[in-house]
Amino acid sequence: MIEKIDSLKQEIDSFTINSEEELEAFRLEFLSRNGKVQDMFKLMGQVPNDQKAAMGKAMNEVKNLAQERFDSAKESLSGKEAVTFGAADDISLPVTPKYTGSLHPLTRALREIKQIFLRLGFNIADGPELEDDFHNFTALNFPPDHPARDMQDTFFVKRSEENPDENLVMRTHTSPVQIRLMKDTQPPIRSIMPGRVYRNEAVTAKSYFQFNQVEGLYVDENVTLGELIETLVMFAKLMYGSDVKYRVRPSFFPFTEPSLEMDIWWNNEKGGQWLEILGAGMVDPNVFDAVDVDSETYTGFAFGMGVDRIALLRYGIDDIRTLYENDIRVLRQFK
Ligand code: PHE
């Protein structure tokens, strides 16, 4: 009898309980109504009277042992669960930030500009960033002594005093692409020409030595100044909303006559000011002559807009340099 009790004790001790399932198996095996502990008590009838007290005590110890193992296993199992749950789902723990990529504000502004002009029936053309003197200046009616032809304003890659035609410059505007387009294609032409341009300028919050322009050119019979202004106003409203504050004022460029500029009201830290976003005008007949387009038959308008300034205004950036520093903390704000 005492051996049976001892072996049951060992069985209880060595039973592994590592899961809810095993805990339940333990309960059925030992503690249930048909379990081994109850079976053991049934043997009491066979115990001689003088041993009943001792056996009863030993059996009760086994029963208590089984109950204790059950209770402590149950407790540690529920404790274990709380720990796993806590580590995964404690909402007070700091999270590891996850960043998705985003488009650079210049890329976004450029895409918006392209979309607007594609809607207005323009197609897209481009040209080289390294230009010769003819395309960047001469064909665009710049007189030989124009200040833009000076080192102060232009990055010369190659400069020849004897033969200025050999000059190579980082293009100072996208207007030379107009020249290439008109040399290659007969009107009607309705294109925009996006690209990077370079100027030997002091860097300020509003200007950089390298920036982006979108040139526009529309050449056909009977293109008018009214259509130019209408197109630019339409652009401003599509870009900034119909309540945009804009103004158009007369200006001068060698390659357009008449010429104008468009300003957009810039709400910045200093309370606000007008910011010029583009130059434009009617293509000067001298330009048509330089590219062999018949200026008796055709008229045209052209514009050149600054993508960087358009982005400043569009996304509320107050310093153009921000666009080129690529500070990741800044870029992440443009989702
Ligand atoms: N190229 C001029 C500039 O960079 C802008 C312009 C383009 C003006 C086309 C008139 C027509 O300032």
CATH number, position 218: 3.30.930.10
Query: Do 144 and 289 fall into the same domain?
Result: yes
Q: Are 215 and 176 in contact (CB under 8 A)?
A: no
286 occurs within a structural domain: yes
The residue out of 78, 97, 132 marking a domain boundary is 78
Residue 142, ligand 1, Cβ within 6 A: no
Residue 256, ligand 1, Cβ within 6 A: yes
Separation of CA 64 and ligand 1 centre (Å): 96
Query: Do 114 and 74 fall into the same domain?
Result: no
The separation between the first and the last C-alpha atoms of the chain, rounded to the nearest angstrom, is 79
Task: Determine the longest span between alpha carbons in the chain, in angstroms.
Answer: 136
Residue 228, ligand 1, Cβ within 6 A: no
Separation of CA 68 and ligand 1 centre (Å): 90
Residue 177, ligand 1, Cβ within 6 A: no
Please report, in tens digits, the pLDDT of each residue of the chain (335 residues total).
888 899 999 999 999 998 899 999 999 999 999 999 999 999 888 899 999 899 999 999 999 999 999 999 998 888 765 555 555 667 787 888 888 888 999 999 999 999 999 999 999 999 999 999 999 999 999 988 887 777 678 999 999 888 888 999 999 999 999 999 999 999 999 999 999 999 998 999 888 999 999 999 999 999 999 999 999 999 999 999 999 999 999 999 999 999 999 999 988 777 889 999 999 999 999 999 999 999 999 999 999 999 999 999 999 888 999 999 989 888 888 87
Q: Say if strands 299-306 and 273-283 run parallel, antiparallel, or are unpaired.
A: antiparallel
Residue 136, ligand 1, Cβ within 6 A: no
**Index of the ligand 1 atom closest to the CA of residue 213:** 4
Query: Do 197 and 286 fall into the same domain?
Result: yes
The residue out of 78, 95, 128 marking a domain boundary is 78
Separation of CA 244 and ligand 1 centre (Å): 22
**Index of the ligand 1 atom closest to the CA of residue 305:** 5
Residue 303, ligand 1, Cβ within 6 A: yes
DSSP state of 93: S
Residue 253, ligand 1, Cβ within 6 A: yes
Structural domain for 165, as ranges: 105-334
Q: Which pLDDT score is estimated for 332?
A: 86
Residues 6+ apart with CB under 8 A from 251: 259, 260, 261, 279, 281
97 occurs within a structural domain: no
Separation of CA 57 and ligand 1 centre (Å): 106
169: left (phi over 0), alpha (psi -120 to 50) or beta: beta
Rounded to whole angstroms, how far apart are CA atoms 301 and 213? 16
Residue 300, ligand 1, Cβ within 6 A: no
Separation of CA 104 and ligand 1 centre (Å): 25
88 occurs within a structural domain: no
Residue 212, ligand 1, Cβ within 6 A: no
Query: Do 271 and 157 fall into the same domain?
Result: yes
Query: Do 120 and 251 fall into the same domain?
Result: yes
Q: Which pLDDT score is estimated for 99?
A: 81
Residues 6+ apart with CB under 8 A from 294: 288
How many distinct structural domains can be found in the chain? 2
66 occurs within a structural domain: yes
**Index of the ligand 1 atom closest to the CA of residue 174:** 1
95 occurs within a structural domain: no
**Index of the ligand 1 atom closest to the CA of residue 304:** 7
Q: Which pLDDT score is estimated for 311?
A: 94
